[in-house]
Structure 1
Amino acid sequence: MTSPSHPRDPGTTTDAGVLRDRLTRRPREEFAREVWGRTALLTRRASDFTDLFSARAVDELIARRGLRAPFLRVAKDGATLPEASYTSPAGVGATIADQLDDTLLWREFADGATLVLQALHRTWAPVAGLVRALGAELGHPVQANAYVTPPQNRGFDDHYDVHDVFVLQIEGTKRWLVHRPVHPDPLRDEPWTGRRTAVAEAAQGPPHIDAVLEPGDVLYLPRGWLHAARAQGEVSLHLTLGVHGWTRHALAEHLARAALAALRDDPWARGTLPLGVDDPADEIAAVRERLAEAVAQADPAPLFHRARRRQGRPAPLGPLAQLAAVDALGPDSPVRLRPALEARLDGTRLTTRVGWLDFPQDELPSVARLLDGTVHTAGDLGLPLAARLLRAGVLVPAPGDPPW
């Protein structure tokens, strides 16, 4: 018996969701059909983002959280500054040298530098919640950065990204100049720096979008679209949600790996070429035929889903809250599948971002029910199964997110 496969955790896949309600004011299917990966889109007054991030949050993260350099970059006049110019040890008990130094950062910021808080989906809970919801809705990994730019300054020269972005203006205003791609749909190993001349030339032409973003506005840019931005008469703060889309090229890579793995088990493919081969045309033709057969039979899905799991993290889990849930577990205890777990049930095995588990046939119906993402009682699932999944970090107490 093979249980149904679930390609990703349950998420919002109808027209109601983050994409429409907070970012584009367009139904999901309309956005997918007319905009996604095709063209830039500016949405005025898309939402109120004051619940997500703020200038006070920037000061909190820089001055009080003990963040280290990987969580922040500093850019000035189109270049990134060395980490040593804004990091230092923090005294007794915190002598790690690459911690953010708020005094040094203040001086750089006052001198016109842009502060880039990176990976906010790991450090700021409201942003993390939005990223999880959007990632589930789009089916692609999402990350979040914040850009804090002093008045009348810019952080980076005209460039393109190798991922799609949603720009959410939080505070202040910023003028954006957007140009069409010089290299549509760049892959992750095709950054703009390999096309500096073409980018610079294209940026001199008439822009596709020339607009000042105000708080609540959202700008969507597919990967490859050129852009540059400058703050206006006050400090500008915006969030960038980067969507690292899976491509057909990535699927082809997984398919090729699966086919090559199969050929390792083929004694003919492992064989040595004949002696004195000067023109390998016949051998190439034979290998091409055997490789085509392997591609036709290969299943890239396991490699693809393994890669998907590595691209993200499950929702936060508090060890103390989890232990309390295990100790207090009873038939009426509400539990649910941990969000963003990327859980799949194939046969008798459940694979997740926190590992895999095998189950006997009589527990499979209960495990399959969990994948709907709704709240269940431990008694409905079976207390031994619920306890096992809580200890594994697959189930979490419900309802809602923990207060921490």
Structure 2
Amino acid sequence: MLQIPLAEFGEKYWATKALLTRARDATTPGPAGFHDLFSAAAVDELVSRRGLRAPFLRVAKNGATLPDTAFTRPAGVGASIADQLDDTALWRHFADGATLVLQALHRTWQPVADFSSALAEDLGHPVQANAYITPPQNRGFDDHYDVHDVFVMQIEGSKRWIIHEPVHRDPLRDQPWSDRADEVARAAETEPAIDTVLEPGDVLYLPRGWLHAAQAQGEVSIHLTLGIHVWTRYALAEQLLQDALSALRDDPEMRSTLPLGFDPATTDLGPIRDRLVAALGTADPAAAVQRTRRGQARPGPLGPLAQLAATNALTPDAQLRLRPALDAGLDGNRLRSRVGWLDFPEPDLAAVRTLLNRTTATAGELGLPLAERLLRAGVLVPAGATPAQTDSAPDAGRPAAAPA
């Protein structure tokens, strides 16, 4: 995706500077547009055939987002859920200049899901993926900034991007651009830092806080936005504080009631502050941070029928692999991962460590009882299993909704 080494990107651009890379400048040029990830055909497939529900699509026009009821309806007998996409309504809005935003493609389109998962592993921060489909000479959103970093990957058509430096650097998740709408509007009138047209295969990186607006040119524009929901030092400070407060719950003095006639203006906070500082000094939020990180992504796909067949037909020479994106690690004799935890007796630990290091093994190398246990827990999958090219089972929860 980028044409510079990851280490150089991290040193020169990550979280600080915008970066534009051109498909035409690639040292090993190939087909432009990232069509192995996404395409116009994929848009039509998702919108017209997948039964997607409103959380997985937004419609925007002239800087405003349309209500879900403007493009959803029940889908008929046996599928009467009221918020399924209405492709006829979507077509009419699109023909009238509206931008379609397919959200959470890391859950609904397998090539994008695989790519997003790999990128998250490289960056160490969770990744979401949206697609923006804009009619010619239209723009979906006015100047704004995001509270996460983004990689913009132009798929089809072309789009002009006008980018300004931040009015508020490194915004947190609860510091959206709308809180500084006047500053954003004034900054948008100044000379831009970047004014460019993205063509298929081009990639634009923007750290959170950088202002941007984009307009399709003479044909339909499709681009992917990979949103990087970065961990911050503030987030770690929050985790430290939570760990310290948890420790103070076991302190009888801190649980004691304040005197009658309590007056915050005259109360001596020194002893309370001292206890809090002491608790912070011993706080270790690593386990909580790891739990939170694991909860920010899902493990790789698991087909129940293939899994059952592999379990029932298990033989010593069966090839097995660690489930992708599992984020598994041993804590003593406990294996923690995105599918929960398992405790192991001492004789099994060597085999589990080998599996974590190699990611693949035969059932005979692990021992049939251990291999079956790990298959049934969803930790292992058959090594020959290949996920379907598309994934038609999106989450029930609402995906993150952020303009780009």
Is this a same-fold pair by TM over 0.5? Answer: yes
Q: What code does the residue aligned with 2:121 have?
A: A
> Which segments of 5 or more consecutive residues in structure 2 lack a partner in the other structure?
390-404
3-state DSSP class of the match of 2:151? strand
Distance 1:71 1:364 in 2: 42
Please list, as runs of the form range in 1=range in 2, the aligned pairs for 1:343-382 lying within 5 A after superposition.
Answer: 343-372=328-357, 374-382=359-367
Map Cα deviations across residues 179-206 of structure 1 (whole Å, 9 max, x no partner): 0000000001111010000000011111
- Matched-pair contact (CA < 8 Å) for 1:176–1:210: yes
Map Cα deviations across residues 12-35 of structure 1 (whole Å, 9 max, x no partner): xxxxxxxxxxx2111111011000
* Cross-structure match for 1:152: 137
Map Cα deviations across residues 81-108 of structure 1 (whole Å, 9 max, x no partner): 0111111111111111111011100000
- Matched-pair contact (CA < 8 Å) for 2:57–2:101: yes
* Cross-structure match for 1:85: 70
TM-score by length of 2: 0.92
Q: What code does the residue aligned with 2:48 have?
A: A
* Cross-structure match for 1:29: 7
TM-score by length of 1: 0.92
Q: What code does the residue aligned with 1:57 have?
A: A
Map Cα deviations across residues 210-229 of structure 1 (whole Å, 9 max, x no partner): 00000000000000000000
Distance 1:295 1:318 in 2: 44
* Cross-structure match for 1:38: 16
1:321 aligns with 2:303: no
CA drift at 1:278: 3.6
Distance 2:39 2:388 in 1: 20
Q: 1:283 to 1:348 in 2, by over 3 A?
A: farther
Map Cα deviations across residues 281-333 of structure 1 (whole Å, 9 max, x no partner): 66311011111110111110111111111111110100011011101111111
* Cross-structure match for 2:148: 163
3-state DSSP class of the match of 1:367? helix
Q: What code does the residue aligned with 1:117 have?
A: L
- Quick check: 331-340 or 227-236, which moved more? 331-340
* Cross-structure match for 2:401: none
- Quick check: 360-369 or 46-55, which moved more? 46-55
Q: What code does the residue aligned with 1:317 have?
A: L
* Cross-structure match for 1:55: 40
3-state DSSP class of the match of 2:268? helix
Q: What code does the residue aligned with 2:100 have?
A: L
- Matched-pair contact (CA < 8 Å) for 1:127–1:144: yes
3-state DSSP class of the match of 1:396? strand
* Cross-structure match for 2:61: 76
Identity in percent:
68
Please list, as runs of the form range in 1=range in 2, the aligned pairs for 1:106-117 lying within 5 A after superposition.
Answer: 106-117=91-102
* Cross-structure match for 2:87: 102
CA drift at 1:389: 0.6
Distance 2:16 2:174 in 1: 20
Q: What code does the residue aligned with 1:294 have?
A: A
* Cross-structure match for 2:122: 137
Q: What code does the residue aligned with 2:221 have?
A: S
* Cross-structure match for 1:8: none
3-state DSSP class of the match of 1:167? strand
- Matched-pair contact (CA < 8 Å) for 1:375–1:399: no
Q: 1:400 to 1:267 in 2, by over 3 A?
A: same
Distance 1:393 1:279 in 2: 53
CA drift at 1:372: 2.5
Distance 1:276 1:69 in 2: 53
- Matched-pair contact (CA < 8 Å) for 1:159–1:227: yes
* Cross-structure match for 2:386: 401
- Matched-pair contact (CA < 8 Å) for 2:110–2:388: no
Distance 1:106 1:191 in 2: 31
CA drift at 1:344: 2.1
Distance 1:260 1:365 in 2: 37
- Matched-pair contact (CA < 8 Å) for 2:316–2:363: yes
Distance 1:149 1:194 in 2: 26
CA drift at 1:402: 3.4
CA drift at 1:274: 3.0
- Which of 250, 260, 282 is the aligned partner of 2:245? 260
3-state DSSP class of the match of 1:178? strand
Q: 1:395 to 1:272 in 2, by over 3 A?
A: same
* Cross-structure match for 2:232: 247
* Cross-structure match for 1:9: none
1:185 aligns with 2:163: no
How much is the aligned-residue C-alpha RMSD, in angstroms? 1.3
* Cross-structure match for 1:336: 321
CA drift at 1:400: 5.7
Distance 2:363 2:42 in 1: 38
Distance 1:90 1:122 in 2: 21
Distance 1:330 1:279 in 2: 70
Distance 2:61 2:150 in 1: 21
Q: What code does the residue aligned with 1:367 have?
A: V
- Matched-pair contact (CA < 8 Å) for 1:259–1:295: yes
* Cross-structure match for 1:20: none
Aligned residue pairs: how many?
382
- Which of 185, 188, 191 is the aligned partner of 1:203? 188
Distance 1:168 1:149 in 2: 14
